[in-house]
Amino acid sequence: MSQIEGKVAVITGASSGIGAAIARKLSEAGANVVITARRRERLQELASGLPGRSAILDADISLPDTPGRLLSIAQEQFGRADILVNNAGIIAAGCIDSVDLDALGQMTRVNFDAVVRASYLFARVFKAQGSGAIINVSSIGAYLISRRMGAYGALKHALEAFSSSLRIELAGTGVKVGTVAPGTTRTEIFDHIQAPGTAAAMPDGTPLEPTDVAAAVLFMIEQPERANIARLAMFSATDAH
């Protein structure tokens, strides 16, 4: 039996890709899941195929009240919350002359501001109950410097620093905090950074699959109480970085 049997997990950005794979993995391991994203139809489709109990919230994670609504749903539907996986993320990239500054602002709200708000809200509850886990999905972009992706990489680097600070602050409370930083993963996110009329901007090489990242998240959560994996970086076996 999995260590998360009967636990309640909240997963953001769960309508596709890594988030959907994490929801399936945790549900298969026996967790009750609360899944959120903006596309209600996708969430309903995912929930209908999960083996365990689930609840959905179609909402914009960048809105200030969304994290609180997620916590309330977990507590009302399942009586508690035990795991938070901050997975929602978007990419806004471009050269200095053409990058969409409004898109960069929205990326900041989704990729960092929402994670900070959700992490603090759930951390307060987890600390009070003496147990819990917060896993923030980062990126190897946090450790790499590349042109056109400066803001994205900077936000992921900030996410790593914030997660480390939160982990240190919660040490000894029974609450674990860690990040999983995947490399190029086959998801829809690349569909949104392609140039008009071109194929999706998937980098060369053999990408990771969303299920690979989901397995890593479950591995981190299932560690014994004495162990906290602070950072797990995942590279494709063909990645030369």
- The amino acid occupying position 42 is R
Query: Can you tell me the distance from the alpha carbon of 109 to that of 18, in angstroms, rounded to the nearest whole number?
Result: 19
In the set 18, 152, 156, 218, the catalytic residue is 152
Q: Which stretch of DSSP H or E encloses residue 10?
A: strand 8-12
Query: Can you tell me the distance from the alpha carbon of 235 to that of 191, in angstroms, rounded to the nearest whole number?
Result: 21
Q: Which two tokens stand for residue 152?
A: 């994205």
Query: Can you tell me the distance from the alpha carbon of 216 to that of 219, in angstroms, rounded to the nearest whole number?
Result: 5
Name the β-bridge partners of 134: 84, 177
Examine the residue annotation and report whether 152 is marked as an active-site residue of this protein.
yes
Kindly give the pairing relationship between strand 175-182 and strand 231-234.
parallel
Known catalytic residues?
152
